[in-house]
Structure 1
Amino acid sequence: MTPAAGARPLNDASSEPASVPGALLTRVRRAIGEAGGWLPFDRFMAMALYEPGLGYYANATPKFGAMPQGADGQGSDFVTAPELSPLFGHTLARQVAQAMQATGVNEVWEFGAGTGALARQVLDALEALGTPPARYTIVDLSGSLRARQQATLATHAGRVHWADRLPPRFEGIVLGNEVLDAMPVQLIVRLGGVWHERGVALAGDGAALVWADRPTALRPPLEIEGGHDYLTEVHPQAEAFIRTLAEHWTRGAGFFIDYGFPEAEYYHPQRHMGTLMCHRAHRSDDDPLADLGLKDITAHVNFTGIALAAQDAGLAVLGYTGQGRFLLNAGLLDLARDAGPRAAAMLGKLVNEHEMGELFKVLALAPEASAPGWVPVGFTAGDRTHRL
């Protein structure tokens, strides 16, 4: 095990308050000790995000919204598409309505529902279309977010349900907006031509966290051209999630919206610093070892890996395209006809190529029994499945 190049101690316990970061750091230190002095990054990331009561998505700190946190502690860390414009969810609802009709299901399952804004937008629009689902189930591990979702969705209380896990069998339209990017990743780094797995260890005094690497048999799914040092991620947990979904899901269609790339772009030789990123107060940094439990940690999605995992598990890939193209295909401009200047500016963020329209992609999946004979409306033009 060798220290990562440029490693520096972080989270010195002598300056930590008795708070979320301090308590979470104590648990991480314990986990490192129990693991023999080195914790793989995916285990660290899981603790940083989901450790009960302390991880970023398991504590009560604000997360989603358009405004950064202020001195009063109010505000948010980042904004997602439903917070930018309700027309995001209203447009997605058109795709949901078509998919329900095409596959003969009358339920929606949303994973990682955030504030509940997307669920409310979809349900409001489906009711306006005259096609409300009999049941809208949210699967979310965050107790604090569940309380906020319940408040947001009070007007749909009779239709919305929550689940901690999948039933043995279920059918429905599956939605996942910015879910895959929050699933823990493994970090691998090529140093001097030798591949290492990057993990987290304790500094010599045992108080602070540092990066540490050790040789590994892990490799990216593509050969990385050149001999230069290269840091990247692999995504076993996101792919395992898709395989687990396939084991339980019998009928319907699913739409996963996230930032990411197909494999050839993800593992391009020039992307030598990886995609791992943290978000706090609408600012980004690349230091996940700092401010434990107080900021989001994400990595871009390898959509080729997700699609292959889906196919290996018996799911069909129905489409893949940019978010902007998907929303335009599904009728966003028709819904935005009477939008004012400010609303139009927000819609521009959703569809413009230099903003979310191209960075975010949409991948559609379905059990094989639900795949033949129809094309989701969001992919009627500009489908890029052939580029996965």
Structure 2
Amino acid sequence: MVAFGAALFHLFNHAMAKGMLFMASGSVIHEMHHAHHDAHHHDDHGDDHHDDHHDDHHDDFDAQSMSNMGGLASKMPITATAMLVGSASIMGLPLIGGFWSKEGIIANAWRVALEDPRFFFPAACVLLGAAMTGFYMSRMWLKTFAGKPKTEVAEHVHEQTPWIPIPLVILTFVSLSSVILAGMMFTHWSSDTSYAFFSDKNFIDGMIYEFEHVFLNPDAFFFVLTYVAIFIGAIVGPGLAMALYGGSLKEGEKAKPWMQPIVNLSSRVNKKRGFDNSAWANSGLSDALRERLYFDKWYDAAMLKLVVGFANISAAFDRNVVDGTIKTIESTSQKISTQVRRLTTGSARDYIMMAALGVLVIYLLLGVMI
């Protein structure tokens, strides 16, 4: 409950951005499947292309793997733009939707940490999370839309499904215009919690107030904190991703003017730093990250040993004790009923004899009692 207002605002921004990212991801996967299907159809009609990407037409081709994409910024401009805006919002780049709520959460987390040192570690984790977000979101965009196509399928991808771009455009507009909502919200960056747009301020006042308390905070610590968060989330994380995964588009292809500078910058950073991506891809750290730090492996092993072992013990108990008891009662009842059934012969003589024996037993019992 440290930053309730900022958290709710971030929930809204996050929902819009993630909805757009999932929609854009679906757009890419959909068109990759189309291109892969067309390549299969082309091969079935006798065109045999012996090239480096011939394996793309095999049935094991994964249309969802970013390793099979690349260079899609020029081929899917609407999807690439939506993915870029959504990524920027999740990263918290200045002036885009997620920035306002993310800064509010960071500021409130550190405000509490300054008052209570026990919250210092969670506050530090917030900044670390900002850097990680900047890295992995940039990595996703660069591997998918920057660089050269990694497969023949990626070379033939186009935005050919007309109904997909419409919701992407709408969600992009919402993410970009979240700054308007920031002007209507209670401020998250100062102690003046009584401020609200709907009380005594107009819309322009709300906008100015939010800009001032983010970028020109009178408190020196929070002023520096804002720009540290921006530096970590918008420069450090994306810069590392560019150094590892950046690259220029295929010769003769260009992205839209608002995306081409990002592609060019990623290519320059990648070439300048001279990272060997192949060595990185074959490193132990890369393997560990690819396997999610082996969490699933150890989790599955623990589950198999503990849960399956307990299930086997439970099954043995159920089979030998629970079912055994019930089956023992059942078999005993059957044996008794078999013996009792022998008394039922259907002969009147037998029944008269049993009645006489019964009367005799009663007579003897009465005699004993008397």
Which structure shows the higher strand fraction?
1
More helix by share: 2
Whether the TM-score (by the shorter chain) exceeds 0.5 is no
Q: Normalized against structure 1, the TM-score is what?
A: 0.28
Which has the higher Rg, Structure 1 or Structure 2?
A: 2
